[in-house]
Amino acid sequence: MSSGKGAIRPFPNYGITDKIKSRDLSPLRAGGGGEISRFVCGYMTCDPYLCRPLLNGLPPVFKVNIRTDRSGHWLESSILHLVEEAESERAGSEAMLAKLSEALFVDTLRRYVSSLPEQQMGWLAGARDPIVGKSLGLLHGRVAHPWTIAALADEVGISRSALVERFTRYLSEPPMAYLTRWRLRLAARSLEKTSRGVAEIAADVGYESEAAFNRAFKREFGQPPGRYRSDHKSSPQIGQASA
């Protein structure tokens, strides 16, 4: 999360898009007549490749109501506090804006996920499911662990066949296929952004054999790791998700 300050410019010559591009979170006043409406806009940067499962599960726009429970009061107060911080010149405002905005995003996302209908499928709905969500947490948290479907099923307390069926119902692929794809995404990111050796990257994502990693990587990306690195080393991969 990045933030910045700048002078208020007249609308429409200086609109929301311009403010975001210039990292300007100062107030923007426009219009006239009728009741006053206030919008607090912000953005978060993310890696669109690694965040793809999450981003693909989100609609272009969604709305959550923060006035339905007591915790919503915290959200509303925090938003107001963010506005004050954005206008202030106090030391530490940048850090406050960044950390508080992250907390607001997580809480807003949790509210959206909890509002999904029971029949909803996809990564976010799977993360909400007690079994699939725990499985995802284990796979993402211990990516290099030598997982088997039996070991994962034992960790989450369900039979292997039931785990595969439930996981596949939400994510359209079984757990081990999902883990392989995620490992290779992490490896691709390391190839793009670091100078670490292929063998070291392979070990970090759970491959004991560099040859096995090379074969799996080529199946997924259509080229071996070395060629992928040379083709993607300088490619910009950072994107933005706005809210």
pLDDT given at position 15 = 59
| 101-107-112 Cα angle (round to 5) | 125
Of all residues in the chain, what percent carry a pLDDT higher than 90? 44
Intervals of CATH 1.10.10.60 along the chain: 177-242
What's the whole-number mean pLDDT along residues 223-231?
Answer: 93
CA dist 143 to 17, 105, 138, 168, Å?
38, 25, 8, 19
Does the pLDDT at position 183 exceed 50?
Answer: yes
What's the whole-number mean pLDDT along residues 193-202?
Answer: 94
CA dist 190 to 139, 162, 179, 209, 231, Å?
18, 34, 17, 17, 13
Question: What is the rounded distance in angstroms from the CA atom of residue 138 to the CA atom of residue 215?
Answer: 25
What's the whole-number mean pLDDT along residues 112-123?
Answer: 87
Q: Which residue has the higher pLDDT, 175 or 58?
A: 175
When mean pLDDT is compared over 28-42, 66-80, 106-120, 204-218, the highest value belongs to 204-218
Of all residues in the chain, what percent carry a pLDDT higher than 70? 83
pLDDT given at position 10 = 38
Question: What is the rounded distance in angstroms from the CA atom of residue 228 to the CA atom of residue 243?
Answer: 33
pTM of the predicted protein model: 0.71
Residue whose C-alpha is closest to residue 21's, from 38, 39, 43, 40: 43
What's the whole-number mean pLDDT along residues 91-108?
Answer: 82
What's the whole-number mean pLDDT along residues 183-210?
Answer: 94
Cβ atoms of 171 and 123 closer than 8 Å: yes
Task: Please identify, in words, the CATH class of the domain defined by 177-242.
Answer: mainly alpha
pLDDT given at position 25 = 63
